[in-house]
């Protein structure tokens, strides 16, 4: 099974991954602190522009990935809007009670959820894990021990998916699927998890031994195949957010 999300390279790909990670985490913290709905909407537009236009993914895939998060947005905001508390009633029918306060709070929380999702997706779609870990080792001085174990673990995911499919077929042959009831759910979980866990543990151990056989050691003193530094794109990236967010904030206060 192939998990391929490769795409065209855009300027977002060329940003230093550690810096990108840091900036996006900062943005997430800012999102948490924003309580002005207009500013939140401007914020969303600013991030959406990056997500929709500069991830280098085909439009179809972007929209497809967007669907679940849009659903999250709708469900979060609608539940708060319909059942929230407030003083200024706009509409009331049975359990549904929409007030001015609940409406704005609903939208605010909805946008917040959406923003987190888009920020995360933008990062994931424009960053190769290998570059991220190389950058973390070089810029943040992450211990290579952790960086390489993460990279090795990422390699295991597609292998595990394949195993999962094989076990699923095997279960079908043995008639596991035909059982019904709660007991069978438990049995099924056991039937999947034990072979998959035992397989993964064994494989992880083997990879670890293989890595040490290739002279991987705990020392931080090593050369790097990818030397990741900073470039003008990093400045563009930071300036993009600083200027547009300031503009967005100003606009929100002025009521635009």
- The contact set with other proteins (CB under 8 A) reads 2, 130, 148, 151-152, 154-155, 158-159, 163, 166-167, 169-176, 178-179, 187, 191, 195, 198-199, 202-203, 206-217, 221-225, 227
Size of the chain in residues? 256
CB crowding 202-224: b at 16 or more within 10 Å, else e: ebeeebeeeeeeeebeeeeeeee
CB count in 10 Å sphere of residue 188: 15
Tokens matching residue 202: 């064994």
| Cα Rg, the chain, nearest whole Å | 24
Tokens matching residue 26: 């900062």
Range 242-248, long-range pairs (CB < 8 A, 24+ positions):
244/46, 245/30, 245/43, 245/46, 247/42, 248/39, 248/42, 248/43, 248/45, 248/46
The residue among 7 and 79 lying less far from other proteins, judged by its C-beta, is: 7
The residue among 11 and 148 lying less far from other proteins, judged by its C-beta, is: 148
The residue among 85 and 169 lying less far from other proteins, judged by its C-beta, is: 169
The residue among 197 and 246 lying less far from other proteins, judged by its C-beta, is: 197
The residue among 88 and 166 lying less far from other proteins, judged by its C-beta, is: 166
- The residues near 221 (Cβ < 8 Å, ≥ 6 apart) are none
Taking the complex as a whole, the smallest distance from the CB of residue 216 to other proteins amounts, in Å, to 5
Element (H, E) at 96: strand 96-99
Taking the complex as a whole, the smallest distance from the CB of residue 202 to other proteins amounts, in Å, to 8
Taking the complex as a whole, the smallest distance from the CB of residue 92 to other proteins amounts, in Å, to 50
Taking the complex as a whole, the smallest distance from the CB of residue 55 to other proteins amounts, in Å, to 20
Answer for the pair 67, 114: CB distance below 8 angstroms, yes or no.
Answer: no
Taking the complex as a whole, the smallest distance from the CB of residue 61 to other proteins amounts, in Å, to 16
Taking the complex as a whole, the smallest distance from the CB of residue 254 to other proteins amounts, in Å, to 49
In 3D, which of 55, 82, 78 has the Cα closest to residue 66? 55
The residue among 17 and 110 lying less far from other proteins, judged by its C-beta, is: 17
Taking the complex as a whole, the smallest distance from the CB of residue 68 to other proteins amounts, in Å, to 21
The residue among 61 and 172 lying less far from other proteins, judged by its C-beta, is: 172
């Amino acid at each position: 099974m192939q998990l391929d999300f490769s795409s065209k390279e855009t300027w977002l790909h060329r940003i230093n991954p550690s810096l990108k990670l840091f900036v996006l985490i900062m943005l997430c913290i800012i999102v948490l602190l924003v309580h002005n709905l207009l500013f939140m909407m401007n914020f969303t537009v600013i991030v959406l522009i990056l997500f929709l236009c500069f991830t280098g993914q085909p439009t179809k895939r972007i929209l497809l990935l967007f669907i679940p998060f849009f659903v999250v947005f709708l469900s979060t905001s609608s539940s708060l809007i319909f059942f929230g508390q407030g003083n200024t009633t706009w509409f009331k029918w049975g359990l549904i009670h929409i007030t001015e306060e609940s409406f704005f709070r609903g939208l605010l929380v909805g946008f917040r959820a959406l923003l987190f999702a888009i920020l995360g997706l933008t990062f994931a779609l424009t960053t190769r894990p290998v570059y991220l870990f190389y950058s973390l080792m070089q810029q943040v001085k992450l211990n290579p021990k952790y960086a390489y174990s993460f990279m090795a673990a990422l390699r295991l995911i597609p292998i595990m998916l394949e195993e999962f499919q094989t076990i699923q077929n095997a279960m079908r042959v043995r008639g596991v699927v035909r059982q019904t009831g709660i007991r069978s759910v438990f049995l099924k979980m056991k039937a999947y998890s034990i072979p998959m866990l035992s397989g993964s543990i064994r494989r992880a151990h083997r990879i670890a031994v293989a890595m040490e056989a290739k002279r991987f050691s705990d020392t931080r003193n090593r050369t790097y195949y990818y030397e990741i530094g900073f470039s003008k794109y990093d400045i563009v990236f930071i300036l993009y957010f600083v200027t547009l967010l300031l503009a967005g904030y100003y606009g929100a206060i002025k009521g635009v």
